[in-house]
Amino acid sequence: MRVCRSLHDFIYRSPPIAIAVILKVLVGNDSVFIRFQHSQPDSQYSVKFIILSFHYHKNGCLIVSADGSEKFLKDEDFLSVACDYLRFYLRWVGTIIQFEIEHRDDWFRWKPRFSFGETLKSSLSAFIKPCFQLPTFEEIRTTIWETIEECLQSRICPLRVRELILAIEEPRIHILNLLDPKAWW
């Protein structure tokens, strides 16, 4: 199918119009927490919440949602799964009202509980397949930041942000060059 060049350029360069009320990323020493609250452009009053936490497990990734439901992804690294979700959210929205990034060594104090059968099964599979090593807190922080910067740099139109909250140890002032503070409101 052929499309005229002008229409192709318009579609390709049109920024996403979805609005995120909050995008909060908390980085812990063995987990990543993402809170995404958004509204669809066609329904002004419908706001949806997505709250997920991604936890390290030696044989995969445990995803816990806000309602307490858990999903275990075997043979998946928790950090790469969290980065994939973060990439999706950052590419899908055009405007974020409050964008917050926070680093805490021990922010959740929650450890996933597995049943006896799941523990036995994961222990047996550890002998068969190599386990994932827990990355250091510094490696987790660096990977999350690289993902955020990669997504912001790859955007055609800068992400519009009204409020940016950085609760981090090291200064990351250069992120301001990747955002558009002149939001539509």
Q: What is the pLDDT of residues 101-156, one digit of tens each?
A: 888 765 444 454 555 455 545 554 544 455 678 888 889 989 999 999 999 998 88
pLDDT above 50 (res 1):
no
In this structure, which amino acid lies at residue 54? F
Q: Name the 3-class secondary structure at 157.
A: coil
pTM of the model: 0.75
Terminal-residue alpha carbon distance, the chain:
38
Look at residue 120 in the predicted model and tell me its pLDDT: 47
**Structure-model confidence comparison of residues 174 and 122, the more confident one:** 174
Average pLDDT (81-109) is 82
State the helix-helix crossing angle for 78-92 and 137-154, rounded to 10 degrees.
Answer: 30
Total residue count of the chain as it appears in this document: 185
